[in-house]
Chain A
Amino acid sequence: MSFLSAISFGNPIALWGLLSIPGIWLLLKIYPPAPKTIFFPAIKFLTNINNDEETAGNTPLWLLLFRILLVIILILAFAQPIYNAKPNFLNNNPLLLIVDNGWSSSINWEKRKENLIEYVDRAEQQKIPIIILPTAPKNNILKEKLLLLNASDAKSYIELLTPNPWPSDYRLLNEKIEELSKDKNYNIVWLWDGIDHENDDSSQIFSKKLESIGNLRVVDFLNSSPIKIIKKVSNSDNNNLSIEIQRNFGSLEEIIFIRANGNNGKLLNRKQLTFKENERIISTDLIIPNDLRNELISVSIENVNNAGAVYLFDEKWRKRNVGIYGDKEAFRTQPLLSPAYYLDRAINSFHKVEISQIEDLIKSELSVIILPGVGTLGEDINSKLKTWIRNGGILIRFAGPNLEGSNTDLLPVKLRSVDSRAFGGALSWTEPVSIKTFSKRSPLFGIKIDKDILIKKQVIAEPSSDLITKTWATLEDGTPLITGEKYDKGWNVFFHITANADWSNLPLTGTFVEILDKIINMSMGQMDNTDIIPLHPYKLLDGFGRLVEPTSEALPTDFNKENLTPSSGHAPGYYGNELFMRSLNLGNKLESLSPQTITFSEETVIERFSSKNTLNFKSYLLVTLLILIFLDYFISLNIRGRINLNKLLNLSKLIIIMSIFQVAFNSNFAEANTKASALQTHLAYVLTLDEEIDSTSYLGLYELTRVLRERTSVEAGPPIGINIAKDDISFYPVIYWPILSNENFLSDITIKKIQDYMKNGGLIVFDTRDQSPNNIITKKDSQEQQYLRAILKSLDLPALIEVPENHVIRRSFYLLDELPGRYTGGSVWVEATARNSRDGVSSIIIGGNNWAAAWAKDNTSKPIFSVIPGGEKQREFSYRFGVNLVMYAMTGNYKADQVHIKSILKRLNNKDQETSE
């Protein structure tokens, strides 16, 4: 009964039409049926007969009921029965549709949309205007007027409505609602997503306001599957990203996958995580090797389509611009002496490198500046560099002969070279030492130490209390090799060796690359002034967490702003340009993900969203009606005797069965043919317009197949005739093509097919069959030759030559002087220079010896055609040619390859001797 009670009528007035049914009943009863038509020879005896009485409608009862049913269905269809219809609105005041379209509403947006449309339909039926108010609008709704929409406008508005990747803003709505006139009692429907976005009472105020201006109906869309976001991403340690994921409620256990996405949809890593029951936050480490870090675009939760489930990485995580101080000229002329060369080689595969003068480097907004072997820095440069480091730059310096100990301002440690002795004489060992450890505190920890690295010279730091904390790498004797110090946001790093191979072999090793990469990756990204001005949107996330081109509503965003969160106009995504991007993420900016708690007044109806859809029966009923009307037509035809229903049924059955068989057979047949060709080797011949030639070709090839089976290891199936225009020829190793002068010319597609066949190693034998003595005497070009010429013209062929003495086809199985068929002596042509791709194998053989005729035997194994000039010897040689031909097609230049035959024979001889000994 719940089904019936869920049905309501959109247009109940039409149901009054049911009253007419008794009338229709009577009418059908009274109205005379359509007369049967009968042919009657004795008709003239009827002419003078009194014919006043009419037959009353004697429609059978079932037909009567059937027709009444038709009428009932018609009436019902017009009454528009609706299953699960939305309830009626209480009054005719405008419908105010409040739609939560914040980021969290993407989870079942289509259903929300359908729900909205249903309400609009309902409003349409009651003819009341509609106001739609999204809670996460694209632009500032305060400036826009609230419009009363009619149903079709409202529908198109809803079609365009999408979830937006920022939270609902009830504060804004609270102001907006003030615009509505207070005297009306609105019908209000609020599609509520039930997520607390703001941690304050604005939503509660909002609901109170709504209740005060009308009848509020809340559709609670709180979904059974939790909403998940990526709450936090940070660099944990080497090669790892630490990721924290949160969901809005934790009542059930749930398995999710997080994925690290690279460029162009490349998947860098994927990891399974499990939310346990009552667990709302989980965190994990995702391994992203440093080498891949630059490719990392985003981390996302699989199959979760909201903007919060995507975390975008920007420049902070990306390639750095590294500046190396060096002389470009020296770099070019004597690269192996220039420290910049070693650095450039170590860095430029991971980062962008710029080699320039210090002044230029400071200007050009770099993340890392490397100063190899620079001693004195000017006062001005010194201070500029300092500011730059404080803002987050990383300065890497290398020792060198001209490093002046006195100027240690921009070194992490003091060097023990204040006196001149230390200056000129860096300590030297007789025994070079290697690296002992990378300090646990340093970013270099974890790099594998290679004992092959030997340090011959270094500058030594002045011992101090904080030297140990500053040391990143120590040598075996305990002296520091790499030291580093933090200045505000930036770092100053010092290598106690040179950047070239003078003092050590470290710059020649992979370890050097690793060390530099680690240090460079510590940097913040490009240091630039763009932070000051707002960045333009570059690519933004939409409400479903997809990166799309920014819409016109997107606004430039100032990344220097405190508490920058995605909001209307400031969607999460990339801002900036292709070269420089900053990302704005939603997940880490969301303050809360807890269920929203609003106390609604008692009048407010709260509707749990159910997946049960409203179903409008009208169209179904009309279709049923149409079918029934057709049925009725046939029934009445049958009653009038116009058609025999049984016959019709049989006929249609037959037609259906036949068509099924036809289809089945056709497809089977076609497939079977191709399959057969693919499963076994078959010789093939081209079907001509002449049946006799076709049968000769068949019999000839059949006999040749038999001969092959007897004498060689080629065990081919029966020959197959092919329609060159239609069939797939790619399965056959060799195709015999008897030329007939009156053939149709080939289409471009066919020529392409033949060419492909030849290119891929097929062999076509053209036989003009015209080498008969008659033709030789007349010495005229036969029509066959002319036709062949026409075919060959369209094929892309190299020059043709007569088969040379030593051609492989003369010795691929038998040694042959002549290549006879039914006729002998005619010249046989092959490609002069077979292309490399086919290993020097000709893809075409042309002759006129009518080979198939010589091969052909009838079913009593007697030759069908005599050979000319004659003799069974010639026939035997024609078979030998056939064998050679097939061998040639199958093995190619295998025989020609036997240049080493002498040595092979020799080896065989030796073996024989050994065994005989």
Chain B
Amino acid sequence: MRLKAEELSNKIPSLYVKADRIANTIWEGIHNRNKDGLGDNFWQFRKYEYGDPAHLIDWKKTAKSNETFIQEKELQTLQNFVIWRDTSKSMNFRSSESIDTKLYRANLFTLALTIILSKSGENIVLNGLKSKLLKGGNAVNFVSNQINEKVTDSYKSSPNVNEIKNNSDVILIGDFLNNIIETEKTIKELSNRGINGIIIQILDPAERFFPYKGRINFNGLEGEQNILIGKAESVRNDYKKAIKIHIEKLEKLITSYSWKYILDNSEQDASISLQNICNTLTYFNNTEFRT
């Protein structure tokens, strides 16, 4: 038990550090909104004008000079982001030791996005934990603490739609290898409530290119019937065709609801995909983010 706990606690900081590093590289490219408004971050001092609420007066600054100053905070638009990641067993797959498991990658994206979004003052919620909307540092803390918790079973392979509030944007991370109809159901329901979203499909290279050879007994990770393939290389083309059709269908489905689709190869550098996601987010939020 203890060993496992230690392993986990070691994992969280490393995941956090990695996520933080990636998030910062992305964040550097994103400028501020340069507008005063409601927010956590200081924006500017301004001379007190009649009508300004008294509690905005910055007494320190005021005491330094003859004028009365008001501290203005940077504008923060209130946007709710719901992040969901697939935690089903099949996410634990990786085709080789050098590649991260899909779940690790999903967690990485979740955390990195939380960091980035919290920096821009968004409200963030991790779907499946019935938590409140969180902002800023709180959100990062919460997510990084909860990320290795097992999200309860019912929300495994599809997000808990009921938990998502209407004025939210949804980021769904997973492998989406399950039946496309289930995915469509989710998207349709959310879309009908006017919710916009991004779907990030994480796939292991082996799942896309099927590099196996020889006689192989394939077992599913979620209790599927095993399949004995006499000569794996002979079915490679057929498989590749099938998976390609699936991916294309999925993309078509997503774009048809004018959601965004991003395909992530778990072999690639995670920051590439994350950059991609942020770009999409910027576009998505109507030029709030600019690179």
Contact = CB atoms under 8 A, between A and B. Distances in A.
Interface of A: 32-55, 58
A46 B226 CA distance: 10
Contact of B230 (A36, A38, A53): A53
Contacts of B235: 46, 49-51
A35 B216 contact: yes
Given A39-B93, A41-B90, A46 B227 contact: yes
B263 interface: no
Contacts of A55: 214-215, 230-232
A819 to B, nearest CB: 53
A501 to B, nearest CB: 102
Contacts of A49: 235, 238-239, 242
Contacts of B229: 46, 51
The 4 closest A-B pairs by CB, nearest first: A41-B90, A54-B230, A55-B215, A53-B231
Nearest to B230: A54
20 contacts: A32-B215, A33-B214, A33-B215, A35-B216, A36-B215, A38-B212, A39-B218, A39-B220, A40-B219, A42-B243, A43-B224, A45-B239, A45-B246, A46-B235, A51-B227, A53-B234, A54-B215, A54-B230, A55-B231, A58-B214
B29 to A, nearest CB: 34
Interface centre among B175, B216, B222, B225 (most CB of A within 10 A): B216
Given A34-B215, A37-B216, 13 more contacts: A35-B216, A37-B217, A40-B206, A40-B207, A41-B102, A41-B207, A43-B220, A44-B177, A46-B227, A53-B234, A54-B230, A55-B231, A58-B214
A39 B89 CA distance: 11
A358 B242 CA distance: 133
B56 interface: no
Contacts of A35: 214-217, 228
B221 interface: yes
A79 to B, nearest CB: 36
B217 A46 contact: no
B220 to A, nearest CB: 4
A37 B219 contact: yes
Given A45-B246, A46-B235, A53-B234, A38 B216 contact: yes
Nearest to B229: A51
A36 B93 CA distance: 17
B254 to A, nearest CB: 19
A486 B135 CA distance: 139
A43 B221 CA distance: 9
B218 A46 contact: yes
A36 B207 contact: no
Nearest to A52: B230
B115 to A, nearest CB: 28
B137 to A, nearest CB: 35
Contacts of A41: 90-91, 93, 102, 175, 177, 204, 207, 220-222
A43 B210 CA distance: 11
B214 A45 contact: no
A851 to B, nearest CB: 44
Interface centre among A36, A39, A45 (most CB of B within 10 A): A45
Contacts of B206: 40
B219 A45 contact: no
Contacts of B102: 41
A705 to B, nearest CB: 42
Interface centre among B177, B215, B216, B246 (most CB of A within 10 A): B215
B174 to A, nearest CB: 11
B242 A48 contact: yes
A641 to B, nearest CB: 10
- Which secondary structure dominates chain A's binding surface? loop
Contacts of A48: 242
Interface centre among B177, B206, B225, B230 (most CB of A within 10 A): B230
A49 B222 CA distance: 20
Contacts of B175: 41
A48 B225 CA distance: 13
Given A50-B235, A51-B235, A54-B231, A45 B220 contact: no
Contacts of A43: 218-220, 224, 226-227
Given A44-B224, A49-B239, A54-B231, A38 B215 contact: no
Contacts of B222: 41
A51 B229 CA distance: 6
Interface centre among A37, A40, A53 (most CB of B within 10 A): A40
Contacts of A53: 230-231, 234
Interface string B65-92: 0000000000000000000000000110
A828 to B, nearest CB: 52
A47 B231 contact: no
Contacts of A38: 212, 216-219
Contacts of A37: 216-217, 219
Nearest to A37: B217
A58 B215 CA distance: 10
A45 B227 contact: no
Interface centre among A34, A35, A48, A50 (most CB of B within 10 A): A35
B224 A36 contact: no
Nearest to A47: B227
Nearest to A40: B218
B207 A42 contact: yes
Contacts of B226: 43
B267 to A, nearest CB: 15
A171 B153 CA distance: 102
Nearest to A34: B215
Nearest to A32: B215
B220 A36 contact: no
Contacts of B230: 32, 51-55
A44 B232 CA distance: 15
Interface in B134-151: none
Contacts of B238: 49-50
Nearest to B206: A40
Contacts of A39: 93, 218-221
B24 to A, nearest CB: 32
A486 B142 CA distance: 129
Interface string B228-258: 1111101100110011001000000000000
B228 A40 contact: no
A33 B230 CA distance: 10
Contacts of A32: 215, 230
A47 B229 CA distance: 10
Nearest to B246: A45
B185 to A, nearest CB: 18
B208 to A, nearest CB: 9
B243 A45 contact: yes
B93 A40 contact: yes
A34 B93 CA distance: 23
B217 A36 contact: yes
Nearest to A50: B238
Contacts of B218: 38-40, 43, 46
A51 B177 CA distance: 21
B16 to A, nearest CB: 26
Contacts of B204: 41
Contacts of A47: 225, 227
Interface in B186-215: 204, 206-207, 212, 214-215
A33 B213 CA distance: 13
A44 B212 CA distance: 16
Nearest to B224: A43
A55 B233 CA distance: 9
A35 B212 CA distance: 12
A46 B243 CA distance: 10
B255 to A, nearest CB: 22
A437 B148 CA distance: 120
A795 B219 CA distance: 72
A53 B220 CA distance: 21
A42 B228 CA distance: 14
B106 to A, nearest CB: 13
Contacts of A45: 239, 242-243, 246
Nearest to B204: A41
A36 B216 contact: yes
